[in-house]
Structure formats: structure tokens, C-alpha cells
Structure 1
Amino acid sequence: MLVILRHGEGRTGTLFVNNRPLPALIGAGGIRSDKSEGDQATPTGFLPFRQVFYRADRVVRPQTRLRIEALSPDDGWCDDPDHHDYNRHISLPHEGRHERLWREDHCYDLCVVLGWNDDPVIRNRGSAIFLHLPPESGVTEGCIALEELLLRELIASDATGVEVRAG
């Protein structure tokens, strides 16, 4: 299955799944080939699906062949480029700067970790690029967001990742 994300108007994109267009949200910084930490941009390139997280207290476990893990209040992601855990799943509390994955909003109720800057990890190249549910703001901090039904459909398919292209 071919999944391609193209930039649309403003901070929206269109995810093409086997040529079927689906609305998606992208980073407030647009789509960039020179992604860096904190620029709020969605990186270009092939972003493979690594694993799925979900909030078992809020949503039904998704059907997928990907590795899946229920989130807990102790889950986080290190976004501190000066820490050896940079761009890695961590347990909280954690001494490095980090993002909490157990959130009050619903963005990470269903979340796919995308392979970006993880093999190898390069300092300041960007971290925590996920495919998740839409935030109320209508933009992400560099991730890709899809409505829950579409996200479930995608991770239940044979797709292995998303090709992100500008324009």
C-alpha cells in the first residue's frame, strides 16, 4: 500500500492512501527537508511505522500488525538534544526535557511512532514525530494528525509508513 502526504493549504495536508485522498494536519512550521528540533515542521522523506501507543482507559485497542503498547501516566518521550535518551521513549520522572505521552487532551489516545531521526539519532535533527489524533489548535508541532477512524483504518492496513513530500 502506498501512503503519501502532500502539503495542502495552510497547515493542512492530504494523505493519499492508494490514491484515495484523506485530510490530514501537519506541523505549524509546514513541511521541511531540513527538519530541526523545535521548528514545528513535519519532515520530508519516508517515515516508517515503528509502534502504536493507545490510551486503554479512553479508546479500544486498535487492530494492527504493528507492535502495540497501552500508555501509562509514566510514559514520556525525550526531546532534549543534550540528553543521551534524545528521541526515545522514556519512563517518567526523567531528568531530561521531555514530552508527557499521557495527556489531558486526546491527541495521543491513539498514536503511531514514526521513524524519524532514530537510526541513528542525530542531535537537534528533531524528535517525537508521531501520527496521532487532531489537536484542537488545528496544527501539530511537526507530527501528522488524522481523524480516529482514518488512523485506525491506516494502521489496520498493510501500510508500513508514510512518504512525506512538499508541494
Structure 2
Amino acid sequence: MLRFLRSATRRRNRQDGGVASGRDVRVTAGGWLYHGDWSARCAFGRGGMRRDKREGDGATPVGRFPLGTAYFRSDRLAPPPTALALAAIDPGLGWCDDPHDKAYNRPVRLPHPARHERMWRDDRLYDLLVVIGYNRNPVVPDAGSAIFLHVAKPNYASTEGCVALELADLQALLRRCRPGDCIQIESQ
């Protein structure tokens, strides 16, 4: 079971590409993320941005999705100030990316018998992350999994489908976010 430090109200998944609100985080195909009058450079998937995202295509899904739980490495960072739900990453935390498993696109405890990714990483990309509510409610097998806002690689190298920011920018964004905020990922 995940150790939650703070809980947030449950909110309905929005995958309809609806109109962005004033509280939405916006990601553009030009590699910028906006939240109100604040902006930061970002990276996105090596497969570009797609409305028809599939597991393993490296694409960032286009649409409007809720911001979920923020996770952090407590051995490397203090709990970040945020109003979002917050949980610590420990060595036993994983995320299932096997579309044939009942835990697909959900956090799992390790060891887990199905294909998964480890959340406790040496490369620091997951020192701080926020779950993007893509393919979460309901979960559709093979539609894509483990889509996060996370720490960027050097030079903003492409991701496997996530949106990535410098650590300081991700921390600043988390201070601004509130429960109910969504992320609008735009392909144009």
C-alpha cells in the first residue's frame, strides 16, 4: 500500500480534449509549458504528440487530463510544497505497463509479476513527478501507461511519452497547482 502524506479529493478523469480553463497547465508542441502567467521550457515524447496514443509508441497524449498524485524521493528531496496529493517513492514502488495485467497503468508494489517500471531510479528523472491522468478512469489496455510530469534529461532530450521539466521548474509548478487542476496537451 502506498504511504500517502496528503490526500486530495477524487476527481473525474477528463480525456475528452475539452476546452482549457484558466487553472489548466498547458503544454504546447513548441516545447513550452504554461500555467497562468508562468512558463517553463519542457520536453515531450520522442514519438511527438498524438490523440491516438498506444503503449510503447513514445508519444505524449493530446487532450485534457487531471493532475494526480505528486511523488517524490524522500532520500533526495524534502516534501515539495503543493496542494496536490503527495506520496513518497520507496524502493518497492513500481508502475505496471503490461496491458495484459489487471494493474495496468497503476502503481504496484514490487516485486510484481507483470512488466513494470521501477519508480526508484538512479538517473533522478523520477526524483519528483506528477501523475498525468491519461488512461486512468477507465483504464484501456494498450492505450498507454505511466504518463507523468517528471524531471527533464540534460538538454531536454525527448521522453518516452511524458512531459519533463527542470527540477526547479517542476517544483515551482507544484507550488502553483491545486486539486482539480488539469493539464491541456496541445499538438498545434
Q: Which TM-score bucket, shorter chain as reference? A: over 0.9
Deviation at 1:60, TM superposition (A): 1.7
Given the alignment of the two structures, is residue 162 of structure 1 paired with residue 183 of structure 2, yes or no?
A: yes
* Corresponding residue of 1:3: 25
Question: Which consecutive unaligned segments of at least 5 residues does structure 2 have?
Answer: 1-22
TM-score by length of 1: 0.93
Query: Letter of the aligned partner of 1:149 in structure 2?
Result: A
Percentage of matched positions with identical amino acids: 43
In structure 2, distance between residues paired with 1:22 and 1:155 = 13
Which one is further off, 155-164 or 98-107? 155-164
Q: Deviations over 1:120-159 (max 9, x none)?
A: 0001000000000012471110000011111111111145
Which runs of at least 4 in structure 1 moved beyond 3 Å after TM superposition?
none
Instruction: Verify the 8 A CA contact 2:84 2:177 in the aligned structure 1.
Output: no
In structure 2, distance between residues paired with 1:37 and 1:4 = 23
In structure 2, distance between residues paired with 1:69 and 1:21 = 25
Given the alignment of the two structures, is residue 29 of structure 1 paired with residue 47 of structure 2, yes or no?
A: yes
Given the alignment of the two structures, is residue 145 of structure 1 paired with residue 164 of structure 2, yes or no?
A: yes
Query: Letter of the aligned partner of 2:28 in structure 1?
Result: R
CA-based RMSD: 1.3
Question: Which consecutive unaligned segments of at least 5 residues does structure 1 have?
Answer: none
Deviation at 1:19, TM superposition (A): 4.4
Secondary structure in structure 2 of the residue aligned to 1:83? coil
Given the alignment of the two structures, is residue 47 of structure 1 paired with residue 68 of structure 2, yes or no?
A: no
Deviation at 1:165, TM superposition (A): 0.5
Q: How does 1:1-167 map to 2 (within 5 A)?
A: 1-8=23-30, 13-136=31-154, 138-159=157-178, 160-167=181-188
Which one is further off, 59-68 or 129-138? 129-138
Query: Letter of the aligned partner of 2:175 in structure 1?
Result: A
In structure 2, distance between residues paired with 1:158 and 1:85 = 28
In structure 1, distance between residues paired with 2:52 and 2:63 = 11
In structure 1, distance between residues paired with 2:182 and 2:48 = 19
In structure 1, distance between residues paired with 2:119 and 2:106 = 12
Secondary structure in structure 2 of the residue aligned to 1:25? coil
